[in-house]
Chain A
Amino acid sequence: MSGRLKYLIWPLWIAVLVWPFTKLRGALIVLAAAAAGSALLFVLRSWAPRIALPAMPRLASFSGHTKTGLLIALVLFSLALPLCLNKYFLDVVVTAGIYVVLALGLNIIVGLAGLLVLGYIAFYAVGAYGYAILSTHFHLNFFWALPIGALLALLAGLLLGLPTLRLRGDYLAIVTLGFGEIMRIVLNNWDGLTGGPNGIMHIGRPAIGALALGRPTHLYYIVLALIALAALLTSRLNRSRLGRALVAMREDETAARACGIDTTRLKVLAFCLSAAVAGLMGVVFAAKMSFVSPESFTFWESVMVLCMVVLGGMASVPGVILGALALIVLPEAFRGLQHYRMLVFGAAMIAMMIFRPQGLLPSRRRTLELGE
C-alpha cells in the first residue's frame, strides 16, 4: 500500500475485522482507537520523521565495538535473568526460548530458501513424541534423545521433502500443511503408541546420572545454550557459500540453476535442517512438560512460528529472535484480555505488514534496500 492512504485504510480494516466479535459499538470503539493511533503515527512520520524513524534500531548501522558491547551485555543479562524472575515468568521465558530456536530453524527454509512451510510443528511433534516414547519405554536419557529426536525429524523431513521438493512452486506449502494435520490425527488415534488424546505422561526430565537437571532454572540454561548454538550456526550458514546459494535460489531459481546450483539438493538440505531443529526442540518441550498430547501440535502453532519469522524480519537472525520473543512474551502480558489477545495479535500483524513489511530487524540486504 502506498502513500497516505494506508493510514486511512488500516483502521477501517481492523474495525471491519472485529465487527463480528464486538458488535457495532465495539467496532466503532476499535475504529476510533485505531484511527487515533494511525493519526498519531502519521503526524510523527510526516512532521517529525527524526523522532519516529529511529524507534527501530538498525543493527547494521552499529559499529563493531558497539555490537560487541551489546552482545556482552545481552549474554550477562540472559545468564542473570533466572535470578530475578519468579517461577511463573521463568516458565514463560523458557517457552519463549523454545520458540526462538524453532523460529530460527524455520527461518532456514522460509527466510533463506524462500519456501513456504505450513506444517512445521509436525516435526516438533516427531521429536516430542519420539522422546516421550523412548523415555517412557526405554528410559532413554534426555541428552541422548536430543540428537535422536533431531535425527527422527530429519528423516521425516527427508521422506516428505524428496518427492515434493523436485517440483517448483508452492507444493511444499500444501504438502506440509497436510502432513501437519495427518500427524495430529495419527497422534490422536494411535492409542497404543501415543496414548491418543490423553497423550503420554511421566516423561523423564533432563538428568546426567544422578544429577537431576529438571528444575526451571536448569531448563532455562539448557534452552539458552541451544539458542546460542542455533543463532551461531544459522548466522554462520547465512554468511557462507551455502547460505548465498539459498538466498540466490529464493531470488531466482532459474538463474541460480544456471550458476551451477543444484536447487533440488539444496532445498532438501534446507528442509531437513529446519526439520531437525524442530525435532530437537520437540525433545526439549517433552522434557519440560513431562507430558505430551496432540493439543500442543495444532496448525495454530505452525502459524505462530511462521509469524515469528515474518514479524522479526525474514532471514535475519536477531530479527527472528526478537519476533519470537515478542509473540510469546507480549500475549502473556495481555492475558487479562482473554480471547481479545488473538485480536490484538492479528491487528499487530496487519499493522506490521502495512507499516514495516520488512520485519522488526530486517536482514542487512533488506536494510540496504530500504536505506536508499
Chain B
Amino acid sequence: MLLTIERIAKNFGGLAALSDISFGIEPGQIFGLIGPNGAGKTTLFNCLTGVYKPSAGRFTFEDADITGISEPKVAQRGIARTFQNIRLFKEMTVLENVMVGRHCRTASRLWGAITRNRKTRDEEREIRTKAAELLAFVELSGPEDHLAKNLPYGHQRRLEIARALATEPSLLCLDEPAAGMNPQEAGELMAMIRRIRDRGVTVLLIEHHMRVVMGICDRVAVLDGGRLVTAGPPDDVRGDPRVIEAYLGKAPAC
C-alpha cells in the first residue's frame, strides 16, 4: 500500500464531516473518490495534506505515520495536491508558478541568494529547466511569461497540476480537476491524468462526473454524508445499490 487511511474522522463543532473512513491506495493506481456535494471529499484531502488535523484515525504513507504533520512536511514527503477552487500565484508568471513548486526539492538559502554562488546558479538553472519541462508536459509552453491570472480557466487547471507535479510527488491528489470544463477539455484532461500515472505517479482523483471516473479509475471509493459507502473496482461500485441510492439518486444529471 502507498497510502493507508485508517478510521479517519473529522468533526467541525457538532458536524461530523468525516467518520470512520478506511481504505488503501496501491501504488500506480488512479484512485477515484466520489460522492455528492458535502460528502466530505475535500475535507478528507485537507486532513491528508495537513490543512486540518483529523479528530481521530491515522494516515500511513510509504510506511510512515503522517497523521497531523504540517502541509509543507506533507509536500516534502511526496504528496502533492490541487485545489477545488483553483489557487494559483496570480501575480506571478506561469513559469514562476511551476518554479515555486520546486521549492521543496531544492535547497539554496539566504546565503546562496545574496552571494549568488555557483551552486545557487546551477540549482536555479535546474529549477527553470524542470519547470519548463513540466509546462511542456501539460501543454502550456506558449504562455510561460504571462501572468497566471490571465490564463483561460482550463489552462489554469493544467498549470496547477504542473505546479503540483513540480514537487515530485509519489501521490498526486486532484480535487475536481475537470470542474467547469467542457466535455472535450475534460477528455483531454483525463488523457493527461493517464500520462501522469504512466510517469509513475499515483493519482487520487476527486470527481463529480460519474462517467469520467468510471472510465479512468482503477478503483473507486464512494463517500456520502461523511461515511464510506463502498470501495472497489468501478464495475462493482457502479452496480452497488447503496451507491445508486446515495449518489446517483441525488445527481440524475450523471
Contact = CB atoms under 8 A, between A and B. Distances in A.
A137 interface: no
B92 A241 contact: no
Interface stretch (A21-29, A119-127, A184-192, A252-260): A252-260
A253 to B, nearest CB: 10
Interface string B76-106: 1000110100011111110010011111111
Contacts of B76: 260
B251 to A, nearest CB: 28
B101 A251 contact: no
Contacts of B145: 368
B103 A241 contact: yes
B123 A369 contact: no
Max chain A Cβ within 10 angstroms of own Cβ: one of B50, B101, B123, B167:
B101
A60 B153 CA distance: 28
A215 interface: no
Nearest to A370: B147
B103 A245 contact: yes
A372 B138 CA distance: 24
B49 interface: yes
Contacts of A236: 113-114, 116
A259 B108 contact: no
Contacts of B166: 259
A369 B150 CA distance: 8
A255 B83 contact: yes
A369 B92 CA distance: 9
Contacts of A248: 89, 92, 100, 103
A333 B70 CA distance: 53
Max chain A Cβ within 10 angstroms of own Cβ: one of B49, B89, B146:
B89
Interface in A342-372: 365-366, 368-369, 372
B118 interface: no
A269 interface: yes
Nearest to A251: B89
B99 A251 contact: no
Nearest to A263: B72
B100 A244 contact: yes
A242 interface: yes
Contacts of A366: 91
Nearest to B107: A241
A252 B106 contact: no
A237 B108 CA distance: 11
Given A241-B113, A269-B110, A255 B147 contact: no
Interface string B215-248: 0000000000000000000000000000000000
A257 B92 CA distance: 16
Main secondary structure of the interface of A (DSSP, over half): helix
B43 interface: no
Interface string B120-138: 1001100100000000000
B146 to A, nearest CB: 7
B214 interface: no
B71 interface: yes
A240 interface: yes
B93 A254 contact: no
Contacts of B163: 259
A243 B89 contact: no
Contacts of A243: 113
A261 B104 contact: yes
Contacts of B71: 254, 257-258
A258 B49 contact: yes
A142 to B, nearest CB: 23
Interface in B131-165: 145-147, 149-150, 163-164
Given A241-B103, A257-B72, A252 B110 contact: no
Contacts of B87: 252, 254-255, 258
30 contacts: A237-B110, A240-B112, A240-B124, A241-B124, A242-B108, A243-B113, A244-B92, A244-B100, A247-B89, A247-B96, A248-B92, A248-B100, A252-B87, A252-B89, A254-B51, A254-B71, A255-B87, A256-B89, A256-B100, A257-B50, A258-B71, A258-B80, A258-B81, A259-B104, A260-B75, A261-B100, A262-B70, A262-B72, A269-B110, A273-B110
Top 10 closest pairs, chain A to chain B, by CB: A260-B104, A240-B113, A260-B75, A257-B71, A251-B89, A255-B87, A248-B100, A262-B72, A260-B72, A248-B89
Given A241-B124, A242-B108, A254-B87, 15 more contacts: A233-B114, A237-B114, A240-B113, A241-B106, A242-B113, A243-B113, A247-B92, A248-B89, A252-B87, A257-B72, A258-B83, A260-B72, A261-B104, A368-B145, A369-B149
Interface of A: 233, 236-237, 240-245, 247-248, 251-252, 254-263, 269, 273, 365-366, 368-369, 372
Interface of B: 49-51, 70-72, 75-76, 80-81, 83, 87-93, 96, 99-106, 108-110, 112-114, 116, 120, 123-124, 127, 145-147, 149-150, 163-164, 166-167
